[in-house]
Structures are given as structure tokens and as C-alpha cells.
Structure 1
Amino acid sequence: MQKIERLVAITLLLQARGKMTAQRLANILGTSTRTIYRDINTLSLAHVPISMDYGPGGGYYLPEDYQFDSTIFTREEAVSLILSTDIAGNYSLFAGDDGLHRALIKLEATLPEEYRSDVRAARERILFDTSAWCSGPNKTTYLESIRSALLGTVQIEIRYPCISCVDGAGVKWRRVDPIGLVFKGVSLRHIRTGVWYLVAYCHTCKKYQTFRVGNIENLKVLELRADPHPDFDLQTYWKSERALIEGFQQPLTMRLEITPEARQRLEGRYTILTTQPNGSIVVQVQASSIESAVSYVLSFGTDATVLAPEEVRAAVSLTARAIAEKYHSAAKRNAS
């Protein structure tokens, strides 16, 4: 979360929830108490009338009649502020809190009309899918850069572990037009969980692609304007794409052949089906998704062979090739 976004989040929290300690603010915003102290000092210097009560039951608070002055924002900051908790990955900050929603609505209403127009345009390109589908938190190193490129309508280059590109699998640079951002997760109060996806037009594949933001290994923002895509509808595209992604999230059963040396490394829900003459065993293993199945198999290195299903065998093969390409590229860079 950028500093200007965090400052407004603190102000909205104090408006909506009343007195709050620095520790409580730090926990909600995912930062340190030292950062909160600096932010409170910054707000005071900007003439935001924050007061402090000491002792048990104390904390920071604002006058009940305080009104936030939105004229201090630039156009870009205004867009960031309204979408701040979502874009920064703290999607749950406002979820289920009517007081915060009201405070945010009041803040948005004070923005100049041209700023509100930009906010509306940004919302068309940023989708929050909160259908019942849960995933663990993931890194979002390049999320802010992607957001800026998306709203600024400029191209980016991403280094990404592709498994189905037209020029073969591997970790490759791709020049893309960012079209939209999608947060896929669950809307539970104060639960930060979900996955960010970048929807973009890939100039190599000549088609729209979905990239998991947490898998992007490097990113460059270019000075090239992104091509217009006036007929692209993010909602319609995501409905179709979500069905494909959720196919990778469905529980499945796989059969593996495990070498004698690796038997003691078996874990999770598995059943030994047969023992081979050479001491290897065939096991049935339950996995929560294709992604988790691939991780499980690769943890054995060459000591595990996927017998079924075919989609897991193919996914393991493609992932292994991408890993090999990554290390091959690293070796070439180090050699030079």
C-alpha cells in the first residue's frame, strides 16, 4: 500500500470505527507501529485533527464532525485512494464493514467530477471475483507497476514461466497490453486471501492471455502506448477463463510410481496399491488441485513417475521444462 493510500485508510478507519490504537491500525493495514506513528505525524502536519488519549482504553481519534478534504489529491492519487485497499491486496479491509463503506462513499462524493470519471473507468478494468473459491495468499511484487501501466494505458514486458506459448514452454519475456486486473478470492471480513491475475493481450501469441501476478519474475514498464481494445469485455472474458482456472483447482486422485529410496518421503493422503519386483511401489495420492499435484510430484525429483491422470503428467512435464529453461538461462547469464 502506497503512503498516500495508507494515510487515507487511517483517516477513514478513525472516522468509521472511532478510537483506535497504533497497534490495531498496524495490524489492519499490514505495517509496523513505527510506520503508523510516522503516518499520524504526517497527517497532523497536514492539519488533520487527530487527537490521542493515553492509558487503558486510549488511542487515536478524530472529531465526530471531521470532513476529509479531497482537494489535496492529484487525479492519479484519487483513483488509487478509492481503489486503495483492493489494489494493494488488502481486499478484505472494507469487506463487511458498513461504516467504512459509508466513509469511502462520502470521500468519493467529494471528488471533482473528472476524478470520479477516472475512478469509474478504472473500475471497469479491475474486477473482484469473490465467488466461493479459496486460495492462500501470494506475492504481489509487481502489482503496483501493473496497476499504473493499466491505468496509464502503456505496454509492459513481463518475464513469465509460460507453458503453452506459441514458441514453446519456458521462462520468457512477453510484451503485452495490460487489459485488466482480476482478484480471485473469498470475501470474508479481515481475511486476506486470494490470487491476482493480469489479463493482457500478448503480442507474441497474438491473443488475450491470463497471467498469475505472483508468477511474474520480472517486469518492465515501456514507453509504448498500449493498443486500444474497445470490443474486449473483461466480465465476459473472465467467466470463460475462470472455468479453465477452476479446472486446475478441483480435487483429484493420481497414481504414482515411487522408487524404494523415496518411500519414506511419502506424506498426505495416500494408499499403497502394489509393490513392484524392484521394490518400487504404486501409490494412490489425493491432491487438492493440479497445481498442488505438480508441486507434490516435483518434490520427489526423479523418484516419482506419474502414471495417471494424463493432465497431471502433462503439467509436470511442462513445469519441469520451464524450470530447466530457467536454470539454463541463469547459467548462461552467470557464464557471461
Structure 2
Amino acid sequence: MRLHRLLGIVMLLDSRGIMKAGNLAKILESSERTIYRDIDILCESGIPIVSIPGPNGGYSFMENYKVNSNVLQGGDVVTLLLSSMGIRAEKNTEMAQQLKNAVIKLENSVSAEHREEIVKAKERFFIDSDPWWGKKIENEYLDIVKKSVLNFKKLKVHYKKYAGEGSERIIRPYGAVVKNSEWYVIAFCEVKNEIRVFKCSRIEHIEVLNESFIMPENFHLEEFWGKSKQEFVRESSLKLEPNSYLVKIKFHEEKKKFLEGFHVHSMIQVENRFIYDIDMLSFETACNVLFSFSDRLEILEPLELKNYIFTKANKILSLYNFR
């Protein structure tokens, strides 16, 4: 992480000339104290950085010193590609710093006119992926997962399931998917002997193994993810029991407005009486809603609901000594 930040300082000084520590810290998302320490490290390593005093001062290279740091490398291109796909780097990760450096290189490689457009765009557009409420779960192992996917390296992970059960797995990471700002690694699990989906935020420990693996030719990430997503939705719908609580009510007058929001299974009219079969979702909902109308309706079924209304009415009467 520090290496990429040091490279970022070098590229910024090379392209923009004199820069204050505060501006460097803002661009590189660091603190001024960290920038001061990084400048000291660069000077100790032989980079001729000088401090210029005064209101227009800051840090700069010695006169006539230039570095060739503006050529995009393979890693830079991959990072820019991931960003263009909407895969935003998590804060304080190596990928985030690589993206900053790649954008700086891109900025330095274009004309002054286009460079001004890039700088303006960076200043006027911002993506905040943090939730309004609650704390976003940090994925501290994303850099390791990303490198292992690209380098075909096996991983040993300690994984915690949704229910809290933990287990150790050896996995072959075939690819990664980002959905709703959550990272998932699609990998062949050597314990289960099949391809599984692992949520990166549930990885509690990770170790890169020296063993490599070969990607199967018939594996397609997008196709696998689509099928896996459909299966997840199907299984989830089977596990969820729909809320249903059928109530039979007799009204002495039409009460269509009262029934808004509930599903009416049937309605029959007997003389001036209206009998409804209504789904009121749960016993608790039926109790809360119907008691306030208990002087204008009669509950026919179920018996437990009738008993609830009767018992509560008697408690109210006893409070006022009407019994």
C-alpha cells in the first residue's frame, strides 16, 4: 500500500510541479502527517525532493529532474478496466491506490486541454458507496482475492456461514462478482468438490498457497453467476413461508374502506349483513386492527381471535367496575 502511495507522490510532483502536502494528502486520501513521512522516505531513497517555503510553496523536484512514470503498465490497464465495469475499489486497499496512480498516468499522457477535463471531472464527481445508516462491512482481503483470481493461485480460507458456522476450505478462485457493493468470489471448493459462491465479507482469515490451478475451459463466470442467482432466489422463496391468517367477519354495513390493504378471499351478503373472508397476515395484526372496530363487527372465525376480543373486553369492564 505504501509503495503505491509513494509512486503516486512521485507522479504528482512530476506532472504538476510544486504541490502542498495538504493537496497531496487530499488526492491520495491520506493524512498530511503520512505525506510528510513518505516525503522523508523518498528523500532517503535518493529522490531529489525539495521544500519551497512561502504561501505559494510546497514540495517539488529539484530543477531539471524528471522521471518517466507516465507509461501505463499491465496492472494499470486491468485496474482501469475494472473501474470502467463499475467495480469500484474499496477504500484503503492496494487496488484503490493503483486506480489513483493509473488515473494520474492517464492524466499525464494526454494533452493539456484533456488533462484539465480529467482534473475537473475528478473534482466534480464523487461516488459514496457507504450506507446512510449502519456501518459498511470492510473487506480486508479483497486485494488478495483479486491477485489470486488473476494469478490462478489457490487460497486457504476460514469461512463463516450466515448461520455462524465456521469451516476451513481450500478454494480455487475462478472469478469475482460485485453486486450491490458486495464482493463475492466464485471458486471451486476442494472440500465440497464443486463450484461454490463465497461472500468475501464472511472470510475471516485467508492464506495464499504456493499451489496453482488450471481454469476449466467450459467455465463462464457470467453464465455461472446467472444460474446461481436464479437458484438462490428459488431456494429462498421455498424457505419463506408467506404470512397468512384467514379471518371470517360479519359486518352490519358495507366496509370496503376498512378492508383496504388486506386480501379479501370472498364476500357474501345475507340480507343486510356482509360476511367477509379476509387474510389479515397474522394473529397479532388481526388483534391490533379488529379490536378498535369490535363494536361494529362480529368475528365468526377463528375461535382464538374471538376469545382474544372477549377477554380484552372483560378486562376493560373490570377496570371500570362494570362487572
Q: What is the TM-score of this pair, normalised by structure 1?
A: 0.47
Structure showing greater radius of gyration is: 2
Q: What is the TM-score of this pair, normalised by structure 2?
A: 0.49
